[in-house]
Chains A and B, each alone.
Chain A
């Protein structure tokens, strides 16, 4: 046995060797003789005289590119205006920047004319514009104009089609050839070619249109918007369907499609081929021929079988359970399917050649979708199969971020459109592509605040920054006493004792002027006094004086110790995008009353940190004052004790995360003398004891006196109004509190860094 094997082995060996010798020789000869033929099969030659080659432009030519005899720049720009108009419009030729200089970026919507009803969707767009912080009622101030004529549906077979638009707009004195106008459109053209024709002359107006094709899109001028249904919510909007990051991220199906198969006409090329990739297992591609009235006329042999298969699967079920969703063109380039897939975290596989993707000027779709080619449909299954799970996981999360940031409501779609236009007006004060495509998204990042990423609370980790090592203590004083009260003096002492305190800023919100500088305590850090406007929203105004990333917001009657401040600051540095503070409250859904409830009782949860003692990033002052529309701030100024809820709601809406509570010293309830408030009780300033962290467990029901219960109901009202305005309840609850590592442990006090917190 053994020897036989040995022989076999040796024979093999010998034959290999022979093969190698002869074969090698053969091959060598072959290549030698085919030397001529091999000439074409080689790399680019290394020319012997390559170092002697002349440069493509001689040394003098490059820097002297300029010909003084040319048209002067001014003349050239003037000439452009007439050459590059209409279909060749660009911002520099068709948009009047000077209109935006004096009053900034203001948007005017034409008043609605009587007997001129607009569709529900256009109504939503108009009301989004009116809800925007850029809205103005004065056309003189306006930089951008939006018509009150419904231009969404320009399919002249449609019932919503408005006739004689040309005549109407020509009669508008503000029209001005469409300059600085923005026109929204969802459907254009009609059977059979669904061309981009709007049926009226838009002139020099910017077109914000769904299903934009790259050929008619004027880059840097027009805006491609997504197609959305008339049920699309005005504000808030449903959240995405991804609740968890599954590992592995694959779902039941790999790739799905369920939709119409066009037998003829535009778009049928792709729709007619989709059924080929159906494998009945992980790739489900279902088509039906049933659409239109006369589908049976064009019906082919597949139709009947396909129609049966089609009914076997539910579209929603497929959306929920697939990793990738095919989003092919329909008759038009865009489809509802696109947003549906995005919301469902079903990664869109786009098969719509020549579609200018929604907001592509800002959004990097390569991070959230697979941009396929209609011509390579049959390669799609293998291509998506090969996408690495890590990438799939990132894709899924990005779909959810984009959905939530730019698409989930009409408000967001319209506001994104406006921000993109605003960014063009001053390129140096605009969002980089990074800002648009990273959490929390472009709408929540104000380039007017800063264009440097390190100035925002969101990008520390992504760019290797860290938040500043110092904070600004920002104390709001409302007491009327001519001299400074004891609590504020103690507070200033405690805060200035922190090694991380850079400065103290006192916002003096009283009618009486602040005490002269001599009366203020001597501190090691600079102390600035700002005279406030005596409005509740004032305390979140982005004052120039605040120079550090971190703000420690305080009420004058807050009682804190230096080590509490130190510890809370060290926690904030770990969570710079959140509110980190001491006394907390929480919200809950009250099913009986069908509204949001609010409680300041001791609970096992928290969702609101009182800004009477809290750290947060100074950027939130800017967001509060500049991002929120004026109406919301007026609401807060009208309702007492609402501004801190709004701040919490705002931060939660931005971060989607709960605030953080840190431990606070237990104190005896301070029976501070009732300060005479500089506002009377009717304005609703709370009695100081209630707001101070020293008495967190005074339950509202137990509060004696009308001021307390009024305040409580006002806060509840406020919560509900804010939830209504945002369209959902942004607050998120947390069940934890952060304590020092050795907090209340049975360890020697000498070991502990923050022993005084335990008293």
Chain B
């Protein structure tokens, strides 16, 4: 079975066999044939389509009034009333959805018909503007299928958004004669205004049997949790009025009520609040003496003052959304659009998309009984939180309220998540506004675990041809008690590694991996041979680190397994003159990076470096043969939001014995190159993830006046 996304290549960089010229021509021929075939098929696909659409062209130019008319006999069957016990596992036919690599349900829309009763009187308005928009959105989405046999979900084109605009029995009959109705199984109805006088039911009264209902205004008694979807009542003002997002800062009113048809009892309570708290509470009502031509919906009045609606909502911190005859109110959408924090007073109301949206972050819900305490409740909310709620409210509107398309797609996504729960959209994706998504990190190693010491670490030595120095490193590192395996990455394709017998004999397994290409990124490949969580990346010329120093580094890494733990630290600085980042290797009081010439880190970051490095950084590093360590520092800091840990006083890696200081010396070009890397990476990451700190880690008793022999790590080297 093909997994769409499960790619976890564990094999090393493969050796690509040299093609024999003899075979080459075969390959080329084969390739060209395949290519031609592809082009041809592509054109097949393309051509007929354009013809089809041109043949449909006349059809497309149709009016809603030209759709076929269906006459419903008076005795045509009526579905059962909605079944309150329905759940996905009892009333939904999941076999229709099947398993598919994209984990997307397929939605079919019935074609539009006009339904009339026996006397030719129409059952309802054929279709409303909003329902047409909704169906268009579904049809344009990746959920859509035009093949009724492949569909998992069916959406009737019968418009039931507003119960008042339809005849209940006849609409039910129309539903029942849909070609795949089957007791309403897998059918989805959208309704925003349910119920009617006098009792205003909180769910659509049209008998609908097992059909799912996406309803605006459910109460806890009619909402079938995990089956129905609670949707907003769309406010047409969303499309008409452009309200730019208002930034944080004080607003003129604290509480505002803008609804026009409040029950007198509620209005009395609100007025009592106003009397108590003065001008910070504004209770608006409809305007009585507007001149003709001014749309009443766009004005609100308080005494003789006239306010523009919905603009006035932006003047208030909190906006009251009270229930009316129905629980769902279109004003909620206006309030969210204005970035005003809704104060929702509607007992038992199921908030829109509450299955996935965390309304506590965007609104205040107050029980009806507690209306008199509203002012003090709201005052207890910290200002910083109010600002976040305002931002959150606006985000909910932008993402899930602003258009019928947003409402339709969110509804389908919720149902999709139920059917493919293992591919469901996460809480964060649903709820975090873009600003939060951007500024926050979600650490892949979030659980505070201190890995067991017994596991040890794997040392990965990247080497080219300095065999003598390599052997010394191996001998030195093998003295570290917690070393569990040594892996030599032989990066030289022109030369074979020394014979087995020549390698130093050490107490832990030693493995040599040969690479296909001399690339720096080979050092950070997640080799299968690395079986421990902890990896010590070490260059083949780092011989100055003492065993105590390395063991201590490992112990520190255990306390910070999600960080880079290294020895010499480096710093990035903002160069005000050049207006760009600068690499600093001076001995400063701060660090923001550690060199990976010798550093401990979690194996997970190897995986990230190899497969998830943003942009072209990985190739860029391989091409420039430099800065792989800076790239690793960026990557880890970006994904964890945390600083590196520099251990011990070590400041440089130049070994005094080494006679020839090779290419990577601290000369001027090197510094310029390193600075360039930082600037390049910062632009690819779109931010500067590195964190600057003033501390380093030393053993508890480091340089304390205490007998050395009693110290765990007495032999810590100097600069």
Contact = CB atoms under 8 A, between A and B. Distances in A.
9 contacts: A20-B44, A56-B159, A66-B324, A73-B265, A77-B368, A246-B533, A462-B441, A574-B693, A604-B699
A90 interface: yes
Interface in B548-567: 552, 555-556, 559, 561
A666 B694 CA distance: 20
B15 interface: no
Contacts of B701: 602, 604
A60 B297 contact: yes
A219 to B, nearest CB: 5
A214 B365 contact: no
A50 B132 contact: yes
Nearest to A21: B40
Contact of A604 (B51, B587, B711): B711
A682 interface: no
A114 interface: no
Interface stretch (B275-283, B380-388, B460-468, B487-495): B380-388
B424 A366 contact: yes
A290 B122 CA distance: 65
Contact of B449 (A244, A431, A434): A244
Given A63-B297, A97-B369, A739-B695, A434 B361 contact: yes
Nearest to B103: A386
Contacts of B19: none
B447 A242 contact: yes
B710 to A, nearest CB: 8
Interface stretch (B140-148, B248-256, B476-484, B504-512): B140-148
A348 to B, nearest CB: 12
B693 to A, nearest CB: 6
B698 interface: yes
Contacts of B138: 44
A43 B140 CA distance: 7
Interface in A9-43: 9, 12-13, 16-17, 19-20, 23-24, 27-28, 30-32, 35, 38-43
A215 B87 contact: yes
A719 B127 CA distance: 73
Given A66-B262, A376-B94, A382-B99, A244 B436 contact: no
A606 B422 contact: no
A265 interface: no
Nearest to A350: B421
B706 A602 contact: yes
Contact of B36 (A16, A364, A375, A567): A16
A449 to B, nearest CB: 11
Interface in B696-719: 696-706, 710-713, 718-719
B551 to A, nearest CB: 10
A27 B40 CA distance: 13
Which of B99, B147, B266, B647 has the most chain A CB atoms inside 10 A of its CB? B99
B646 A741 contact: yes
A219 B643 contact: no
Interface in B423-441: 424, 426-427, 431, 436, 438-441
A39 B60 CA distance: 10
Interface in B131-173: 131-132, 135-136, 138-140, 144, 146-148, 159, 161-162, 164-165
Contacts of A30: 48
Contact of A28 (B3, B8, B40, B47): B47
Given A427-B366, A462-B442, A742-B589, A737 B146 contact: no
Interface string A57-79: 10111111111111011100100
A668 B665 CA distance: 45
Interface stretch (A116-124, A281-289, A450-458): A450-458
A576 B455 CA distance: 29
Contacts of B427: 364, 366-367, 433-434, 437
B560 to A, nearest CB: 9
B348 A92 contact: yes
Contacts of B589: 740-742, 751-754
Contacts of A16: 33, 36-37, 40
A158 interface: no
A736 interface: yes
Interface in A190-228: 214-215, 219-220
Contacts of A427: 360, 364-367
Contacts of B29: 5, 8-9, 12
A570 interface: yes
A59 B329 contact: no
Contact of A741 (B130, B380, B588): B588
B501 interface: no
Interface stretch (A310-318, A484-492, A651-659, A669-677): A651-659
Interface in B11-68: 25, 29, 32-33, 36-37, 40, 43-44, 47-48, 51-52, 55-56, 59-65
Interface stretch (B202-210, B220-228, B517-525): B220-228
Given A66-B261, A219-B225, A388-B6, 20 more contacts: A27-B48, A42-B56, A43-B140, A45-B112, A56-B192, A57-B162, A73-B368, A77-B368, A214-B87, A215-B85, A353-B87, A394-B446, A429-B380, A433-B360, A450-B382, A656-B448, A736-B697, A740-B694, A741-B646, A745-B718
A567 B694 contact: yes
4 closest Cβ pairs, A-B complex: A464-B439, A66-B261, A44-B139, A353-B89
Nearest to A459: B440
Contacts of B591: 741
Contacts of A9: 29, 32-33
Given A24-B43, A366-B424, A745-B649, A375 B220 contact: no
B264 interface: yes
B105 interface: no
A666 B705 contact: yes
A77 B347 contact: yes
A14 to B, nearest CB: 11
B59 A39 contact: yes
B373 to A, nearest CB: 10
B447 A739 contact: no
Which of B200, B331, B451, B694 has the most chain A CB atoms inside 10 A of its CB? B694
Contacts of B361: 432, 434
A529 to B, nearest CB: 27
Interface string B85-108: 101111000110001000000000
B241 interface: no
B65 A62 contact: no
Interface in B205-250: 220-221, 223, 225-226, 233-236
Contacts of B606: 247
B236 A59 contact: yes
A385 interface: yes
Nearest to A25: B47
A254 to B, nearest CB: 12
Given A70-B198, A603-B700, A461 B125 contact: no
A741 B694 contact: yes
B670 interface: no
B381 A373 contact: no
Contacts of B263: 66, 68, 70, 72-73
Contact of B136 (A44, A54, A462): A44
A377 to B, nearest CB: 12
Contacts of A746: 718-719
Given A28-B51, A67-B197, A77-B347, A92 B533 contact: no
Contacts of B576: none
Given A23-B44, A741-B569, A397 B447 contact: yes
Contacts of B700: 584, 603-606, 661, 734-737
B697 A40 contact: no
A130 to B, nearest CB: 30
Contacts of B447: 242, 245, 397, 400-401, 439
A439 B424 CA distance: 21
Interface string B375-406: 00100111011001000000000000000000
